[in-house]
Structure 1
Amino acid sequence: MRAFRLSASNATPALVVCDPPTPKADEILVRIGACGLNFADLLMVKGEYQDTPELPFTLGMEVAGTIEALGADVTDFAIGDRVAVFGGQGGLAEFGTFPADRAVKLPETMPFTDAAAFQIAYGTSHVALDHKAQLQAGETLLVLGAAGGVGLTAVEIGKLMGATVIACARGADKLEVAKAAGADHLIDAKTEDIREACRALGGVDVVYDPVGGDQFKAAFRACKPEARLLAIGFASGDVPQIPANHLLVKNLSVLGLYWGGYLAFKPQVITDSLAQLLAWYEAGKLTPHISHTLPLDEAAQGLELLRSRKSTGKVVITLDQD
Structure 2
Amino acid sequence: MAAAAAPVPPVLCKRGQQQLVLVHTTRPPLPLRLMRRAVSVRVAPPRQQQQQQHRARPRPPPRNKPPGPARRPPRVPLDQDDYEYDDGGGYDDREEGRFAGGTRAAAMPKPPAGFVLDDQGRCIAAASKRIVTIIDDTSNRLLECIIRRVFRSSQDHDCLLLCPVDMPVQVLKSTNFSGWVAVDDDQLKQIIPSVAYALARVHMHFVESGFCYTARGGFCFPEEAIQEFHDSGDGGDGVPFEGVEICCFNLDGAHYMIYTPVDPLLFVAVKDKDGVLRIAEDDLMEDPAVLDAVDEETEFTALVEEEETLLETVLGER
* TM-score normalised by structure 1 residue count: 0.25
Higher helix share: 1
TM-score, length-normalised on structure 2? 0.26
Identify the structure with bigger relative contact order (alpha carbons < 8 Å, sequence gap 6+).
Answer: 2
